[in-house]
Structure 1
Amino acid sequence: MLDLNDLALFVQVVRSGSFAGAARQLGVPANTVSRRIQALEQHLGTRLLQRSTRRLTLTSAGEQLHRRCAGAVDGLLEAGQELTSGSREPGGLVRVAAPADFFDFFRMEWVAAFLAEHPRVQLAFVLSDAKADLIADRIDVAFRGGRLHDSDYIGRQVLADGNDALVASPAYLAARGNPASLQELQRHDAVLFTPPGQAQGYWRLRGADGVEHEVQLTARLTGNTVQALRKATLAGLGIAMLPRSIVKWDLEAGRLVPVLAQYHSPGHGLNVLYPSRRQLPLAVSAFIDLVVGKLHELDAPPASMLM
Structure 2
Amino acid sequence: MVDLNDVALFINVVKAGSFAEAGRRLGLPANTASRRVQALEGELGARLMQRSTRRLVLTDAGQRLFSQCSEQLEAVTQSALEVAEGNATPSGKVRVAAPADFFQMLSVELVNEFLLANPRVRLEFILSDARADLLGEGIDVAFRIGKQIEPNLHARQIGWVDVGLVASPDYIEAHGKPESLADLSEHDCIAAPTNMAGYTTWRLDGPGGVREIGVRGRFHVNSVQSQIRAALGGLGIALLPISAVREDLQAGRLMRILPDYGIRRVGLYFVFLERRQLPRAVSAFIEYAMAKIIESGMIDPLTPVKQAPA
Code of the aligned partner of 1:258: R
Instruction: Name 1:274's counterpart in structure 2.
Output: 272
Correspondence list, 1:256-275, <5 A: 256-275=254-273
* Aligned-residue offset at 1:103: 2.2
Q: TM-score scaled to structure 1, two decimals?
A: 0.84
Q: Does structure 1 residue 188 correspond to structure 2 residue 187?
A: yes
For residues 112 and 241 of structure 1, do their structure 2 counterparts lie closer, same or farther at Cα, with a shift above 3 Å needed?
A: same
* Aligned-residue offset at 1:270: 0.6
Q: Distance in 2 between matches of 1:220 and 1:173?
A: 16
Q: Does structure 1 residue 71 correspond to structure 2 residue 54?
A: no
**1:17-62 Cα distance to aligned partner (Å, 9 max, x none):** 1111112222332222222222222222222221111222222222
Instruction: Name 1:115's counterpart in structure 2.
Output: 115
How many residues were matched structurally? 299
Instruction: Name 1:106's counterpart in structure 2.
Output: 106
Instruction: Name 2:227's counterpart in structure 1.
Output: 229
**1:119-140 Cα distance to aligned partner (Å, 9 max, x none):** 3333332322222222222222
Instruction: Name 2:57's counterpart in structure 1.
Output: 57
* Aligned-residue offset at 1:14: 1.6
- Matched residue SS, 2:12: helix
Correspondence list, 1:173-184, <5 A: 173-182=172-181, 184=183
Code of the aligned partner of 1:222: H
* Aligned-residue offset at 1:205: 4.5
**Larger deviation, residues 225-234 vs 288-297:** 225-234
- Matched residue SS, 2:248: helix
Instruction: Name 1:3's counterpart in structure 2.
Output: 3
Q: Does structure 1 residue 293 correspond to structure 2 residue 295?
A: no
* Aligned-residue offset at 1:144: 1.0
Q: Distance in 1 between matches of 2:296 and 2:277?
A: 28
Q: Distance in 1 between matches of 2:246 and 2:47?
A: 53
Instruction: Name 2:167's counterpart in structure 1.
Output: 168
- Matched residue SS, 2:148: coil
Instruction: Name 1:45's counterpart in structure 2.
Output: 45
Correspondence list, 1:207-246, <5 A: 209=207, 214-246=212-244
For residues 159 and 177 of structure 1, do their structure 2 counterparts lie closer, same or farther at Cα, with a shift above 3 Å needed?
A: same
8 Å Cα contact 1:71-1:280 kept in structure 2: no
- Matched residue SS, 2:134: coil
For residues 219 and 197 of structure 1, do their structure 2 counterparts lie closer, same or farther at Cα, with a shift above 3 Å needed?
A: farther
**Larger deviation, residues 93-102 vs 50-59:** 93-102
Gaps of 5+ in 2: 300-310
**Larger deviation, residues 99-108 vs 286-295:** 99-108
**Larger deviation, residues 40-49 vs 241-250:** 40-49
8 Å Cα contact 2:94-2:281 kept in structure 1: yes
**1:98-137 Cα distance to aligned partner (Å, 9 max, x none):** 1122223321232223233333333332322222222222
* Aligned-residue offset at 1:238: 0.6
* Aligned-residue offset at 1:237: 0.7
Q: Percent identity?
A: 48
Code of the aligned partner of 1:199: G
- Matched residue SS, 1:129: coil
Instruction: Name 1:21's counterpart in structure 2.
Output: 21
* Aligned-residue offset at 1:183: 5.5
8 Å Cα contact 1:146-1:269 kept in structure 2: yes
Q: Distance in 2 between matches of 1:231 and 1:198?
A: 26
Code of the aligned partner of 2:174: A
- Matched residue SS, 1:165: strand
* Aligned-residue offset at 1:196: 4.8
Q: TM-score scaled to structure 2, two decimals?
A: 0.84
**Larger deviation, residues 275-284 vs 177-186:** 177-186
Instruction: Name 1:305's counterpart in structure 2.
Output: none
Aligned-pair Cα RMSD in Å: 2.6
